[in-house]
Chain A
Amino acid sequence: MGELYLFNRIQKPGYRGTLAEYAAEGGYAALRKALAMTPEEVVAIVKDSGLRGRGGAGFPTGFKWTFMPKPNDPRARYLAVNADESEPGTCKDRILMERDPHFVLEGILISAYAIRAKAAYIYIRGEYRASKIAMDSAIAEARAAGIINEKIMAPGLGAEVPLLAYTHVGAGAYICGEETALMESLEGKRGQPRPKPPFPANFGLWGMPTTVNNIETLANVPPIITKGVAWYQTMGTKPSPGNFLCGVSGDVNKPGVYELPLGIPIKSIINDVAGGVWKGRALKGIIPGGSSSGFLPKSIVDGGIAMDHDSLKNQGSFIGTASVVVFDETRCIVRAVKILCQFYHHETCGQCTQCREGCAWLDQIICRIENGDGREDDITTLLALCDGMRGKTICALSDAAAIPVQLALQHFRAEFEEHIRSKRCPLGNPKMEFHTDGRHSHDHLHNTQTVHTDVLTLHGIENPEAGRYRETMRHPS
């Protein structure tokens, strides 16, 4: 499937990603080449390449770098690397960090040089212990080899520059993947997103100019520097060049993470790359790019929709992390939406009313529909709620929670109506009471997220879950 430049080493049997192995594969040549240029020249190359961020928003990376202040600005600058991969369905950055950490590190160091960063901080989610160990040992190896230091000679500038990278761990909060929440968390605070402006390029980590980039995005940088813009644009599409890492999970024969060119039809990802829908079943629908990108039905997949930024945007979805979750014909979409609504309810930081209350309402209404207690007007209520949650909050989590519900109702509305009408799942899926009961009463530590069941009653919406989800503030023992 075309040329590989992200997984080319990882796919070799026996490759363990040590410095010696990486160097033998031509590793750190791109860093040497970059240091022979001025930082502005590196930015220009990445900008010309058309590389777009792989963390979800798809923002042009080189363009983002140009937002940093002019070189004569005396403030310290930082690169924050987003390795807080926690979008459901996404499992790609982890593979790069665990199995080719020097490759990731080289991309980080080139990018840090390009934005003249004093240091790079790699924010790794707390659960990814293996990734942290791999990155820490790569950093230690690079320091011992003189690749990382307070002072590294950069011939392009005719001066010494700092090239430093540190790892930092999170502690299980999805919201810290949002760039301003990530910076708050790195500063040792609750991961609550900051209002923008000021933008990170002006007021970021510790109030200093900061750029936040995703791991996979930065892994694209060394090959672009080594092989050039023309080579990079031979892959992918014109507005979305390059390869991407595609996690395929759910009901397929060969789930996995694959390196594919942008613009590949999603149907081909499912059938040719991931071995087709499992158990000989038919496709029902997909999540195209991580949970926030919502649900698309078989008809759109069969219509030949491509995995790129613009094709998915036209369907009201977005490429997100390009991680496909596949549902076979036996799956209940209401149950899938319920799992996602519980997720967003758990992960909302509680700062904005629309999101804090909206996520709780979505969770509770979808739960009662799934439990067979849905009401006639629930779908209208859900749509009104989603409308109230879109584009009205500090960060995009509120939108991310509303999109799956909106798209599911757009494409699978009949299934919701059938649940409400017949007071059960038409597909005969079991209820999940056992597993959800314990969750919100025992396993849910955010005291900002107390669910105001009485508010629902105030608005005349009966709440069969009342009491069950009620929590109290937790205090120190």
Chain B
Amino acid sequence: MSGGLPIPKPAAAAPNVKDPRACFSKETIARFDAQVKQYPTTRSALIPILHYAQEEKGWISRETIEMVAVYLKLAPIQVWEVATFYPMFHLQPVGRHVAWVCRNISCDLRGCNEIIDAFHKKCGVAPGQTTADGKLTLRLAECLGGCAQAPVMDIDGTYYENLTPEQVGSILDRLK
């Protein structure tokens, strides 16, 4: 046969299945273990465990997906489909800190766009970008549930409410 479909290349060798207990710190594994005990099925612990993994590694890499799958005895796709569904999981490396600025209706009325501009002025990042020094990633959040204290942002799990553009600079300066 001439022409036709290109011959597929041989699949890359499967990554070595390592021991998940060697991939995460003891503390993180202890959190995994405690979480699994809450539920009748181990799979239920997946989302909290991805949070713990992300707290340790900074983001959810392919290796993390595979290790969590081994730990929970799931197929990697079962972990991957969950990691891609939920916006709080970072599937690419992010800065040391992640700032989520709420863009939804109440924050828009109370000036979240000035907050986003203040980030741009202070460290040159637009939403979705990471600073050149790898310190901070700016992301836009859907309603963070701080509507009565708008505008709101969340940096590494801490809420900053009733924000003014002037405060952004000093908050960022305090981050290491």
Interface residues of A (CB under 8 A from B): 76, 85-91, 94, 121, 125-130, 166, 168-174, 185-191, 206, 247-251, 255-257, 287, 291, 323, 325, 327, 331, 335-336, 339-340, 343, 346-347, 349, 432, 434-435, 437-439, 441-443, 445-448, 474, 476-477
What 8 pairs between A and B have smallest CB-CB spacing? A442-B128, A171-B86, A188-B46, A172-B88, A249-B147, A249-B106, A476-B62, A188-B43
Beta-carbon contact of A188 and B45 below 8 Å: yes
Smallest CB–CB gap between A409 and chain B, Å? 17
CA distance A128 to B92 in the complex (A): 23
Which residues on the B side are within 8 Å of A127 (C-beta)?
88, 100, 141, 144-145, 154
Q: Which of B81, B126, B143 contacts A86 (CB 8 A)?
A: B143
Interchain residue pairs with CB less than 8 A apart (14): A88-B143, A94-B145, A121-B38, A125-B145, A127-B100, A171-B88, A188-B45, A189-B46, A189-B78, A189-B82, A251-B109, A256-B148, A327-B109, A438-B126
A443 to B51, CA, bound (A): 18
User: Is the pair B105, A325 in contact by a Cβ cutoff of 8 Å?
Assistant: yes
A244 to chain B, nearest CB (A): 15
Say whether A126 contacts B113, CB under 8 Å: no
Cβ of B50 and Cβ of A171 under 8 Å apart?
yes
Per-residue contact bits, chain B 41-83, to A (CB 8 Å; 1 contact, 0 not): 1011111101100000000011001000000100000101110
Chain B interface secondary structure, helix, strand, loop or mixed?
Answer: mixed
With known contacts A172-B87, A477-B62, A336–B105 Cβ distance under 8 A: yes
> Contact between B81 and A190 (Cβ–Cβ < 8 Å)?
yes
Is the beta-carbon distance between B139 and A443 smaller than 8 angstroms?
yes
Q: When the two chains form their complex, are residues B87 and A476 in contact, meaning their CB atoms are under 8 A apart?
A: no
12 further contact pairs, Cβ within 8 A, besides A186-B44, A188-B44: A87-B143, A88-B105, A91-B149, A127-B100, A171-B89, A173-B87, A188-B41, A325-B105, A343-B105, A438-B127, A445-B87, A446-B84
Q: Which A residue's beta carbon lies closest to that of B47?
A: A171
Q: Could you say which residues of chain B place their CB within 8 Å of the CB of A443?
A: 127-128, 139-140
B4 to chain A, nearest CB (A): 26
Q: Say whether B50 contacts A339, CB under 8 Å.
A: no
Residue on A nearest B65 in the bound complex, by CB: A476
Query: A169 CB to closest chain B CB, in angstroms?
Result: 6
Chain B residues in the interface with A (C-beta under 8 A): 38, 40-41, 43-48, 50-51, 61-62, 65, 72, 78, 80-82, 84-89, 91-92, 100, 103-106, 108-110, 113, 116, 126-129, 139-150, 154, 157-159
Question: How distant is the Cα of A474 from the Cα of B83 in the complex, in angstroms?
Answer: 12
Minimal beta-carbon separation of B101 from chain A (angstroms): 10
CA A189 to CA B45, docked complex, whole Å = 10
Q: How far is the CA of A166 from the CA of B39 in the complex (A)?
A: 9
Report yes or no: B92 in contact with A441, Cβ–Cβ below 8 A: no
Kindly list chain A residues whose C-beta atoms are within 8 Å of the C-beta of B85: 173, 190-191, 349, 446, 448
How many angstroms between the C-alpha atoms of A320 and B128 in the bound complex? Answer: 32
Are B149 and A339 in contact, with the CB atoms below 8 A?
A: no
Nearest to B152 among chain A residues (CB) is A91
List of B residues within 8 angstroms of A343 by Cβ: 104-105, 142-143
Verify A128–B145 contact, CB threshold 8 A: yes
A169 contact set on B, CB distance < 8 A = 47-48, 51
CA–CA, A251 and B146, complex, Å: 15
Is there an interface contact between B86 and A89, defined as CB atoms closer than 8 Å? no
Are A91 and B48 closer than 8 Å at their CB atoms? no
Contacts A171-B51, A172-B87, A446-B87 known; A347 to B142 CB distance under 8 Å?
A: yes
Does B103 lie within 8 Å of A339, measured CB to CB? Answer: yes
Contact check, B106 vs A89: say whether CB atoms are below 8 A apart: yes
Complex CA distance for A320 and B127, rounded to whole angstroms: 31
Q: How far apart are the CA atoms of A333 and B141 in the complex, in Å?
A: 21
Instruction: Report the bound CA distance from A257 to B100 in whole Å.
Output: 23
Q: CB distance B50 to A435 under 8 Å?
A: no
Q: Min CB distance, B139 to chain A, in Å?
A: 5
A194 shortest CB reach to chain B, Å: 15
With a cutoff of 8 Å between Cβ atoms, the chain B residues found around residue A445 in the complex are: 84, 87, 89, 91
- Residues of chain A with a CB closer than 8 A to B146's CB: 91
Closest residue on chain A to residue B143 by CB atoms: A88
For residue B87, which residues in chain A have a CB less than 8 angstroms away from its CB? 171-173, 346, 445-446
A101 CA to B172 CA, complexed, in Å: 31
**B40 closest partner in A (C-beta):** A206
Q: Are B104 and A88 in contact (CB under 8 A)?
A: yes
- Say whether, besides A91-B146, A474-B91, A206 and B41 are in contact (CB < 8 Å): yes
Nearest-neighbour CB distance to chain A for B51, whole angstroms, equals: 6
Q: Among B81, B89, B106, B159, which residue has its beta carbon within 8 angstroms of that of A250? A: B106
Q: Specify which chain A residues have a CB less than 8 angstroms from the CB of B139 in the assembled complex.
A: 443
Least CB separation from B100: chain A residue = A127
Counting chain A CB atoms within 10 Å of each CB, the highest count among B40, B72, B86, B154 belongs to: B86
- Chain B residue at minimum C-beta to C-beta distance from A86: B143
Question: Given the complex, which residues of B lie within 8 Å of A476, measured CB to CB?
Answer: 61-62, 65, 80, 91
